[in-house]
Chain A
Amino acid sequence: MNWPRALLTDSGGFQMVSLLHLADITEKGVTFQSPVDGKPMLLTPEESIQIQNKIGADIIMALDDVVKTTITGPRIEEAMHRTLRWIDRCIAAHKRPHDQNLFGIVQGGLDPVLRDICVRGLVDRNLPGYAIGGLAGGEDKDSFWRVVAQCTATLPEDKPRYVMGVGYPLDIVVCSALGADMYDCVYPTRTARFGTAIVPEGVLKLKHKAMAEDTRPIDPTCACMVCKNYTRAYIHSLVTKDAMGSQLLSFHNLYYMMQLSRNLHSSIVQGKFPEFVCNFLQKMFPKGDIPEWVCNAMEVAEIDISSCCAPFRYIQATKVQSNLNEDEIQAV
């Protein structure tokens, strides 16, 4: 790849389960259909680590037994215990512990008891970092933040916490408030390919007819190459029709996410994190209609966002907003 900077590889587990048919998980490993020739293949913890050792990334992930959070029942407990048994196999198979950092992944569904057992088990193994897995799979936001909060409260303070599959800017801000450090998500580039830009107010759908005459940049506050040089109208003419449209939007969206990370970091370092959060929420919810789950999470995180909430907000019962990327942006 000729990439001189940091690299992280995933174990392959999630991709197999989410992208392929007939994935069958046993104690040995994950059996799946090869996408090349349809033949059954088995990915074991040992093999996953071996492949990751060869690729040589700086951070590698343990092979875990992933279940969807929307599933209930004994399968979740089984997966959590298996994840712990597999971490030992991963550790044993890891041939390059001095150049590659093996992160364990906390599973346990939405059950705090199971999550706690898993956290303790992984912390006992004294790994270089810990991921919070099994989330970002369509579970309701109220359950989501509570799992993250529980994990960040019990995982070691001096090791990175990586919330896998997150995500939307709002989710990242909340998880960061709760003490998470690292994230990964397909969202910025995937939504770009569908013609959607990430902006401070939420999203901007460039495909919309109104964009054809809009000569403003995607985000006037953004300093990226795309916002400095192109109008919404031009991007509109490209999206979903020309590869360049996907490229330019991906560029902007990734820049946005990196700027968000930078701002989170510097606001924490400067002791201005609560102001940053309020500012962020005000732009996204100008009417003060911040979702209840965000308010609850911020309360636990001890971040005062009352200045951004509409009055009597916390008294009313409200629907949880979980799909921000479906909101139409109105003319700013």
Chain B
Amino acid sequence: MKFVVKAWSNGGARAGILHLGTSTIDTPSLLLSTRKGLPHFISPDLLSCLPAPESRLLHVSPLHFLEGLSMKTISKIGGLHQLLGLHDHCFVAVPRDSIQCLPEANSTNKIGASFETPCGRLLIKPVEYMEMISSTRPELWATLADEVPAWVSDKRNKTSVDRTIKWLDECISISPASGAVFGAIVGGSSLEERRRCAQEVATRNVSGYWVGGLGLGESMDERPALLNAVIEALPEEKPRLICGLGLPEEILQGIAAGVDIFESTYVAQFAMYYHPTCLLTMLIAFTAIYRKDTTSIVEGCTCYTCRNHTRAYINHLLNVHEMLAQILLEIHNTHHFLGFFRLIRDAINAGRFEEFRREFVQRWR
């Protein structure tokens, strides 16, 4: 993995280039969320209709595979690329998946991190996690963390930082030869703990940083200070990855603080709950007013869905419960969200990120 910062705009926001696997990705960039490695609805043969190479970063939670596929079998098959038949894509492994594999701080203990998953509550030990990493062979992976929500006691929060650092060291020591390691940074909603954790992790031999524990109850107002406390302690030249920021506004917060890669469940949520998204206009629900609307979801959008289908058709598909609706919506929403990131990169490169952010937030609200 190689990362180079190319441009800055108004302080923390930066644009860079990430070389990962066989891909060269411009940052800030988005990880597409997956379920067992593939999108929720977009079938592998349709992935090529998404803009490349920015659509090639996939977030994978190794925990998904615990429901029905052993690590031994995945290893035998040859890792994620072979398992998923996706040879041009890059996999970023982070255990937390903000829709279905949520950290369960109450059950996490010194032995391992607890997650609430579709196959029940699971306790993942660092050594088990590393077995998952070495079997799946992602290009990039985050170390195991003890993520706690914003409302825990100071004592619990401090423990989470100590534990996360300890597990980081364990993970690195078991680390497989390939795959870039991102050190996990937690600290809840305490500025000191966030700073402390970041400073510790900054001394470790990692390729980048994964900012965890956000999107778990802290308010949008609290977040910038927490992000800054972390980022200030980190070296500029290494990339920063964050999970759990869903809304476009939250993404902008992260970018302003200096985050480079984002995992967001925004698209997945909408595809699953039947809403197409037009970031610069109101969200459209599948109500009767679209029954005869022969325009595309977003005028001028070049995605497969907008080039080929009308609102009326998608409205019909939703009404008759056809899965094609979710497929078409996930394609559009992903395409659109990637377009949002492209606008962000353009704004940073032109030195006008804060202006872009202000305008967007105004129109969005």
Contacts and interface: CB of A to CB of B under 8 A. Distances in A.
Interface residues of B, number: 27
A241 B67 contact: yes
Interface in A1-54: 1-2
A225 B73 contact: no
Contacts of A246: 323
A280 interface: no
Contacts of B65: 237
Interface in B33-53: 35-36, 38-41, 43-45
A242 B69 contact: no
Given A213-B70, A233-B69, A234-B84, A244 B40 contact: yes
Say whether chain A's binding surface is mostly helix, strand, loop, or mixed. helix
Contacts, number: 67
Interface string B77-118: 100000111000000000000000000000000000000001
B68 A241 contact: yes
B77 A215 contact: yes
A238 B36 contact: yes
Contacts of A231: 77, 83
Nearest to B323: A243
Contacts of A236: 68-69
Interface string B310-328: 0001000000000100110
B120 to A, nearest CB: 14
B69 A234 contact: yes
Interface in A178-230: 212-213, 215, 225, 228-230
Contact of A244 (B41, B70, B73, B76): B41
Nearest to A230: B85
A273 interface: no
A248 interface: yes
A242 B85 contact: no
A207 to B, nearest CB: 10
A247 interface: yes
A237 B76 contact: no
Contacts of B83: 230-231, 234
B267 to A, nearest CB: 15
A246 B73 CA distance: 22
B43 A247 contact: yes
Interface string B143-165: 00000000000000000000000
B186 to A, nearest CB: 30
Contacts of A276: none
A251 interface: yes
Contacts of A238: 36, 68
Interface of A: 1-2, 212-213, 215, 225, 228-231, 233-234, 236-238, 241-244, 246-248, 251
13 contacts: A212-B68, A212-B69, A212-B70, A213-B73, A229-B84, A231-B77, A234-B69, A237-B67, A238-B68, A241-B67, A241-B68, A244-B39, A244-B43
